[in-house]
Amino acid sequence: MRLLMKVAIGLLIAFVVLVGAGLLFSARPTPITGVDAGSLAHSVKSTDAVCRESSDGNWHCALEADKADTQYEVDVGWDGCWEATRIRGPVTRFTPRGLSGCVDIWDQLQLENVFD
């Protein structure tokens, strides 16, 4: 009976560790997968953003609203969290002076685009 109890406890611990790692990965996958232009654009403003990485490693994103582009410089941290600062373009309710957020698993997968 003792051996069965040890195996059950070991399996329970392994299950808890795997579920915890899965939840952590789904919340912040970028330390493993990295950030790409599509996932960052999706995180910044979904479908109407275009992001690119410059040669010095900085990110720049453009949001189109009311037929005008607003440009942002986006500082992305190691964990996928980012802060965007407007560098040019109009400030509207759709393009504020600053934005912030984090790239998550839904930004990486972009599943809503599959069903369009």
Give buried/exposed letters for 8-35 (b at 16+ CB in 10 A, else e).
eeeeeeeeeeeeeeeeeeeebbbeeeeb
Into how many domains does the chain fold? 1
What are the tens digits of pLDDT across the range 47-101?
A: 578 899 888 888 999 988 777 788 999 999 888 899 999 999 888 888 888 999 9
pLDDT at 46: 58
Q: Is the pLDDT of residue 116 over 60?
A: no
For 27, the domain range is 2-113
Q: Is the pLDDT of residue 25 over 90?
A: no
